[in-house]
Amino acid sequence: MTTVAVLGGGIGGLAASYYLCKSPQVTKVLVLESSSRFGGWLWSTRRSDGAVFEHGPRGIRPAGAVGHNTLNMVDDLGLGGDILPVPSSHVASQNRYVYMNSRLHRMPSGLSGLLRTVPPFSRPLLLSVAMEMLVKKGAEEDESVHSFVSRRLGKELADIAVDSLCRGVFAGDCRKLSVRSCFPVLYNAERRRGSLTLGMLLGSGPSPAVPPGPLAQRSVTESWSQWSLSRGVESLPECIAEYLQQSGRVELHREAAVQQISPSASGWTIRLEDGVVSADHIISALPAKALASVLPPSCQPLIQLLQDISTVTVAVVNLEYEGSILPVSGFGHLLPSSEDQALLGVVYDSVPFPQHDRTNGRTTRLTVQEFTAHHYQRHTHLGVPTAPSWSRVTLQRDCIPQYYPGHFRRVESMRSFIRENNLSLSLIGSSYDGVSVNDVIFNGRTAVEQLLGTGVLERVNTGT
Ligand SMILES: Cc1cc2nc3c(=O)[nH]c(=O)nc-3n(C[C@H](O)[C@H](O)[C@H](O)COP(=O)(O)OP(=O)(O)OC[C@H]3O[C@@H](n4cnc5c(N)ncnc54)[C@H](O)[C@@H]3O)c2cc1C
Ligand SMILES: C=Cc1c2[nH]c(c1C)Cc1[nH]c(c(CCC(=O)O)c1C)Cc1[nH]c(c(C)c1CCC(=O)O)Cc1[nH]c(c(C)c1C=C)C2
């Protein structure tokens, strides 16, 4: 293996380059990014008075193999000292709200939350959980998240909790999203244990083994629920780019939009605006539709499959208020689609990460996420009497891919086409195997390991 071209310099492309860089088998890595900066959706505004505002992800989960994998990378990059951990005992971890019937409801948590009837729900959640064990397995190979949860836990939980959750993670509609691709743990729990409750208690199948390094171990000991970085999450791609630059084997190109790729005798020819480059292998970390637009006509079946992956556009509205303006404390609130079609939720950024507030004087930072950027200031639902002292609206076009039922088959078909046509091409990034930062980093690593045939992750069964 000599030259690998990585298309796209979002966190997926940078993570893949980081893992490529660790292998002596790779002599050269070309990272081709169309915009003027690396990081893609990991995008932080840092004001000179110390305030930090996130326009993409704001907190990363430390748990599980994929969470440990990211923390191992953070440690290796020397960013451990910049970590801002949020322990699970913190109010931002304990309190999440849904806004329904014109008021905020704290989502039930802990045993007492399960035993009591907690509005907006009409019965104790423990009843739904206990009865779930008696529901027989579904027969379909995939279905919508809403249909799966209604069938197993009842319509009310699907309409309120799961509808909101899908808006808070995928900015999506649980009636259209695939349970198998969006919540594989739930899908596997039913497949393997016949029940979500038993799956939670006994484990729901194999999961990758990632030995936790010192930072990941610290996250377990201190029981973190999420983390950020002192200069915002964009520090992570910035630090990876610096690491790649220093390796001497990686060429990082900004403003290098890939226009066309064509298979050649020795690999690929890649056409850019100002020239042509060659590579033995391509790792595409582009959004699916962007990859579809640069593939040659000979790849038509793959192009069609890539074009079938929909995305959503989200408006992210960062607000800063003078003083403490929140009537409640917690992570934030979500709105089920029955309450508001356009507004998804509000994150109370100052609660988990007060370190990102302006250094002088008390302020409150909020982020409103919605499908449209209109009328945003009236929609915090928090009864804030004053106008924000600072705001910024960013329209994030096509930012979150939507995995609809049958997504796993489409992705399988793409990879079969690549194999059958002997294309030296790997597909990574949020379009295929998970949208979280952790998933995207982990899938970048898996693709590199598959390409180089080294260190293939050991599979262990978490079930007892
Ligand atoms: C508002 C928002 C909030 C989120 N919150 C969270 C969260 O709290 N936790 C979490 O884990 N995840 C969160 N996510 C999801 C996560 O941030 C993304 O799924 C992830 O960053 C996607 O990374 P990527 O590298 O696959 O794609 P991208 O970031 O889209 O990177 C793709 C790159 O390809 C480049 N590109 C496109 N076309 C070309 C071309 N022709 N040639 C060269 N380059 C090209 C783009 O400029 C871009 O830099 C959030 C996402 C958004 C939008
Ligand atoms: C309202 C819109 C959105 C908010 N965050 C996102 C959107 C679209 C994107 C997002 N949030 C999370 C992830 C990663 C999931 C993972 O597997 O790590 C992504 C892509 C984390 C998350 N945010 C909320 C929940 C319940 C989760 C799941 C994991 C966890 O428990 O941390 C809730 C939530 N998100 C938003 C709000 C306002 C909100 C409210 C409670 C914003």
Q: What is the pLDDT of residues 282-327, one digit of tens each?
A: 999 999 999 999 999 999 999 999 999 999 999 999 999 999 999 9
Residue whose CA lies nearest to ligand 2 atom number 15:
436
Residue whose CA lies nearest to ligand 1 atom number 10:
436
Q: How many whole angstroms from 58 Cα to the centroid of ligand 1? A: 13
pLDDT in tens, 180-214: 999 999 999 999 999 999 998 888 888 888 999 99
Q: How many whole angstroms from 395 Cα to the centroid of ligand 2? A: 18
Mutation pick for ligand 1 pocket among 6, 74, 437 (CB with most ligand atoms within 8 Å):
437
* Ligand 2 neighbours by CB, cut-off 6 Å: 61, 96, 165, 167-169, 171, 226, 331-334, 344-347, 369, 400, 435-436, 438
Place of tokens 């992210």: 316
Asked if residue 378 has pLDDT above 80, the reply is no
Is the residue at 437 inside a domain? yes
**Residue 219 has which token pair?**
């996250």
226: β partners? 86
What does each C-alpha distance from 442 to 67, 220, 257, 439 come to in angstroms?
9, 19, 25, 5
Is the residue at 363 inside a domain? no
Q: How many whole angstroms from 195 Cα to the centroid of ligand 1? A: 34
CA distance 454 to 126: 46
Contacts made by residues 245-248, CB under 8 angstroms, sequence distance 24+: 247/21
3-state helix vs strand vs coil in the chain, percent to 5: 35, 25, 40
Q: Which atom of ligand 1 is nearest to the CA of 429?
A: 26
Residue 120 or residue 110, greater confidence: 120
CA distance 253 to 255: 7
Q: In what order do the strands lie in the sheet with 343-347?
A: 103-106, 96-100, 332-334, 343-347, 363-370, 311-322, 390-401
Q: How many whole angstroms from 168 Cα to the centroid of ligand 2? A: 4
List b or e across 208-220, with b for residues whose CB sees 16 or more CB atoms inside 10 angstroms. Answer: bebebbebbebbe
Instruction: Write down the pLDDT at residue 464.
Output: 29
Residue whose CA lies nearest to ligand 1 atom number 48:
40
Q: How many whole angstroms from 246 Cα to the centroid of ligand 1? A: 24
Residue 110's pLDDT band, with cuts at 50, 70 and 90, is: confident
Q: Contact, 427 vs 261, CB < 8 A?
A: no
Is the residue at 438 inside a domain? yes
Q: Which atom of ligand 2 is nearest to the CA of 334?
A: 40
Is the residue at 33 inside a domain? yes
Is the residue at 134 inside a domain? no
Residue whose CA lies nearest to ligand 2 atom number 19:
169
Q: Contact, 18 vs 243, CB < 8 A?
A: yes
Q: How many whole angstroms from 57 Cα to the centroid of ligand 1? A: 9
Is the residue at 106 inside a domain? no
Is the residue at 184 inside a domain? no
Residue whose CA lies nearest to ligand 1 atom number 2:
56
Q: Contact, 87 vs 459, CB < 8 A?
A: no
Check residue 340 and give left, alpha or beta (phi > 0: left; psi -120 to 50: alpha). Answer: beta
Range of the domain at 303: 3-41+231-309+403-461
Q: Contact, 441 vs 11, CB < 8 A?
A: yes
Q: Is the peptide bond before 206 cis (omega within 30 degrees of 0)?
A: no
Instruction: Write down the pLDDT at residue 373.
Output: 63
Mean pLDDT of 380-397: 90
Residue 175's nearest CA partner among 414, 443, 351, 404 is 404
Is the residue at 129 inside a domain? no
**CATH number of the domain where residue 246 is located:** 3.50.50.60
Asked if residue 455 has pLDDT above 60, the reply is no
Which residues, in sequence order, are CB contacts of 30 under 8 Å at separation 6+? Answer: 3, 4, 5, 6, 250, 251, 253, 277, 279
CA distance 396 to 446: 28
Mutation pick for ligand 2 pocket among 70, 90, 160, 169 (CB with most ligand atoms within 8 Å):
169
Asked if residue 458 has pLDDT above 80, the reply is no
Q: How many whole angstroms from 97 Cα to the centroid of ligand 2? A: 12
Q: Which atom of ligand 2 is nearest to the CA of 435?
A: 20
Domain count, the chain: 1
pLDDT in tens, 2-38: 899 999 999 999 999 999 999 999 999 999 999 999 9
Mean per-residue pLDDT of the chain: 94
Mutation pick for ligand 1 pocket among 19, 41, 428 (CB with most ligand atoms within 8 Å):
41
Place of tokens 């939009």: 257
Ligand nearest to the CA of 430: 1
pLDDT in tens, 247-293: 999 999 999 999 999 999 889 999 999 999 999 999 999 999 999 99
Q: What pTM was estimated for this model as a whole?
A: 0.96
What does each C-alpha distance from 358 to 86, 320, 390, 454 come to in angstroms?
19, 9, 11, 46
